[in-house]
Amino acid sequence: MAIAETQVYIPQAPRPRLRLLEDERWLAFVLLVPTLALLGMFIAYPFVRGILLSVTNARVGVPGEFVGLANFYKIFNDGIFRTSVYNTFVYTGVTTVFKLALGLWLAMLLNRNFRGKAFTRAFILLPFIIPTVLSTFAWKWMFDPTFSVLNWLL
C-alpha cells in the first residue's frame, strides 16, 4: 500500500508594504540629494571648470583653444613663478614658527600666577568678544519694536 504524502500549505501573513519614504535608505537618499546638488553646484562645477580653463589659452571675452599642458610647462619654466613659490614657502615657514613660539610663550606666561591675571586674560579675549557683542546690538536694534531701522524704512 502506498503512503501518500500530503503537504499542508500554510499561507504566510502578508508583509506590510512600506511606503517609499518610510524606508530609511530611501529617506536618507532623498534628504541627501539637495545637499549633494548644492555641493556639486558650488564646489565640483568650479573645480572642473578651472581644470578645463587651465588647459586652454582662453582670455577674457575670447574663447580659447585646447593647448594641453603648455600653460603648465610655461609657468614652471618661469623664474618669477619659481621665486614666488619659494617666497611663499619661506614666509609660511617663518610665520608659522614665529606664531607657534609666540603663542606658546604667551600661554605659558598666562598660566603662571601673577597679580592681574584675570584682567590680562579678559583683555586678550577682547578682540574675539567685541565683534560678537556689536553684531548682537546691531541685530537687536534692527528688530527693536519701537526704534527699529526696519520700522523707519517701512
Contacts of 75 (CB under 8 A, 6+ apart): 81
What's the pLDDT score for residue 22? Answer: 65
- Alpha-carbon gap, residue 41 to 32, rounded angstroms: 14
Q: Please give the tally of structural domains in the chain.
A: 3
Same domain as 31, residue 67: yes
Is 80 exceeded by the pLDDT of residue 16? no
Q: Are residues 28 and 63 in the same domain?
A: yes
86-100 pLDDT, tens digit each: 999 999 999 999 999
Q: Does residue 138 lie in a domain region?
A: yes
Residues 83 and 57 in one domain: no
| CA 112/CA 127 separation, integer angstroms | 22
Query: Among the three residues 6, 40, 71, which one is the final residue of a domain in this structure?
Result: 71
Q: Domain span at residue 106?
A: 78-112
Arithmetic mean of pLDDT, 74-95: 97
CA distance 4 to 28: 53
User: Quick check: is 2 in a domain?
Assistant: no
Is the model's pLDDT at 1 over the cut of 70? no
Shared domain for 28 and 67, answered yes or no, is: yes
Per-residue pLDDT of 113-145, as tens digits, reads 999 999 998 898 899 999 999 999 999 888 888
SS3 56: strand
pTM above 0.75, yes or no: no
